[in-house]
Amino acid sequence: MSDAQTDIRAYTLRLELVDEPGELLRSLGPIAENGGNLLSIFHERGNVTPRGHIPVEVDIEATPDRFEKIIDGLRDAGINVVQAGTERYSEGLTVVLSGHLIDTGLSDTLSRIQEATNATVTDLSLAAPEGTADVSSARIDIATERGATEEVLEKLRSIAEEKELRLVEPLPTSASV
């Protein structure tokens, strides 16, 4: 057997779950189905993420091959994986978008960032001092796979141009999330 098949490691998964009955159980399915051994669950029921979801941290043991299958299974099930292990999302960037964020569909913007790139939005802060119908700004923290930062920025530039938003890009850095 290769090392990838026998080298069992501990991994931490950070998930965002919809606040509905059965979502935690549904998120555990892909872990069990792909051979992950559950070590612990930290379900932050009293907290919500900027998107109104419940943050959940799950510690598991699995081989690297099984771990990749678990991540794929979670994504296929529609579970938002914020962080997986230590290498999956190892680079971070913070950008600012300003303009008519609400009118142009902030939720759509965030979904498009995650669907088109190997990245996930980890935090969002929205300021709309004149109300949601006027100009607003959002600070968005994004975690991305190593080496994918430029791809994420290109997607952000495209979305900002299409929606006539101003994008303030981060200074080049290699900071870890």
pLDDT in tens, 49-98: 767 788 888 888 999 999 999 999 999 999 988 877 755 555 778 899 99
Q: Residue 2 pLDDT more than 60? A: no
φ, ψ for residue 93, nearest 5 deg: -145, 155
How many domains does the chain fold into? 2
Domain boundary among 59, 84, 109: 84
- Those residues whose C-beta lies under 8 Å from the C-beta of residue 176, and which sit 6 or more positions away, are 90, 91, 92
Q: Determine the Cα–Cα distance for residues 127 and 57; give it in Å rounded to an integer.
A: 28
C-beta of residue 94 within 8 angstroms of C-beta of residue 142:
yes
Q: Supply the CATH number for residue 99's domain.
A: 3.30.70.2690
Domain limits for position 55: 3-84
